[in-house]
Amino acid sequence: MKPYPAPPEGLRVVSAPPVLTLTLDRPHRRNALTDDIVLALIDTLEAASADEEIRVILLNAAGDHFCSGFDLAERAGDGNRPRPGSISRRMPYLVNRLIPVFLEVQVPIVCAVRGWTVGLGLSLALAADFTVAADNARLRAPFTSMGITPDSGISWLLPRLAGVARAKGMLMLGEEISGSEAADWGLIYRAAPEGRVDAEVADLVDRLASSASVAVGLAKALVQRGRERSLEAHMSEEAFAMELSSRSADFREWIESRQQGRPPDFTGR
């Protein structure tokens, strides 16, 4: 089992192959993220990408809310006003690294959402591969209502997932939507009654943990990279991914299972 960095206060990390569970654990702050938590998430996801035993990552949160964004109050709590340029110096090493890692790690990420999902928390939910939200979850990107502009990739994610008009409503007007609306818009994988979220998430985790992990990881990479490539360039990448996946043990297992008339038993290899 691969060792993971010791998590900071406010983040729980449990490695129980084939599942890695990350739990935001600051319910008294609606699980607002700190610099230390952001950095730990980046390091942990990067470590998981190289861990051969991990086949799915589960991101959830303690308490009634998923994440209320970045904890600006804590950063300002020492009373020292940062010198000019602080934001542009910090962001490339913090949230601007976190969202790309979510999108690029070839381990599927399942996310469970309840209650408030705001700002950076919304970015995490949108960047995950399979987000299940409670029907009554509250999703919002309130940046302009605070007099600031969007960050953490949200102005890149929202238009691609929901369309430009809906993205403008959320990003420019600060409009709030429910979990069920987010599912209807295609922002997330699925919405469910609040009492069913855990069961829906557990089913997804089980399915992914027993899937053909090489093929699943490559399929995730293809979906992500295909957003910015021409059809011709993308089909070339598809051919390369097919070459790799067709040499996997799981593909050989699928062939044998078909010949023997039984369900495949994928090992993620």
**What CATH number is associated with residue 102?**
3.90.226.10
33 DSSP β-pair partners: 70
pLDDT digits (tens, 9 = 90+) for 47-76: 999 999 999 999 999 999 999 999 988 765
Question: 20, 57 in Cβ contact below 8 A?
Answer: yes
For residue 235, the enclosing domain spans: 213-260
- The reply to whether 154 falls in a domain is yes
Closest C-alpha among 207, 221, 219 to residue 266:
207
pLDDT of residue 170: 98
Better pLDDT: 84 or 71: 71
Same domain, 226 and 98: no
Query: 235 and 185 in one domain?
Result: no
Q: Is residue 156 part of a domain?
A: yes
Q: Residue-wise over 68-87: b if at least 16 C-beta within 10 A, else e?
A: bbbbeebeeeeeeeeeeeee
* Residues 243 and 171 occupy one common structural domain: no
Do 89 and 197 belong to one domain? yes
* In the predicted structure, residue 95 carries a pLDDT above the cut 90: no
Q: Which of 111, 107, 127, 59 is nearest to 216 (CA)?
A: 107
Q: Could you tell me if residue 63 is inside a domain?
A: yes
Question: So what's the pLDDT on residue 87?
Answer: 61
Element (H, E) at 21: strand 19-24
260 by Cβ neighbours in 10 Å (0-12 / 13-18 / 19+) ranks as: exposed
Q: Residue 2: inside a domain, yes or no?
A: no
Residues 62 and 161 placed together within one structural domain of the fold: yes
Q: Could you tell me which of 167, 155, 154, 61 has the C-alpha nearest to residue 110?
A: 61
Residues 171 and 242 in one domain: no
Residue 17, pLDDT score = 97
- Same domain assignment for residues 17 and 142: yes
Question: Does residue 177 contact residue 185 with C-beta atoms inside 8 Å?
Answer: yes
Task: Share the mean pLDDT of the chain.
Answer: 94
Percent of the chain as helix, strand, coil, to the nearest 5:
50, 15, 35
In Å, what is the CA distance from 127 to each residue of 42, 162, 245, 253? 13, 13, 24, 31
Distance (Å, whole) CA 29 – CA 70: 10
Domain match, 62 and 166 both? yes
Same domain (yes/no): 137, 252 = no
Residue 265 lies inside a defined structural domain of this protein: no
Cis peptide before 18 (omega within 30 of 0): yes
Does a structural domain hold residue 266? no
Q: Are residues 170 and 248 in the same domain?
A: no
Q: Is residue 269 part of a domain?
A: no
- Report residue 84's pLDDT band, with 50, 70 and 90 as the boundaries: low
CA separation (Å) from 137 to 29, 113, 140? 17, 7, 10
Rounded CA-CA distance 78/17 in Å is: 40
193-240 pLDDT, tens digit per residue, is 999 999 999 999 999 999 999 999 999 999 999 988 999 999 999 999
6 assigned to some structural domain? no
Residues 234 and 141 in one domain: no
Domain match, 38 and 126 both: yes
How many domains in the chain? Answer: 2
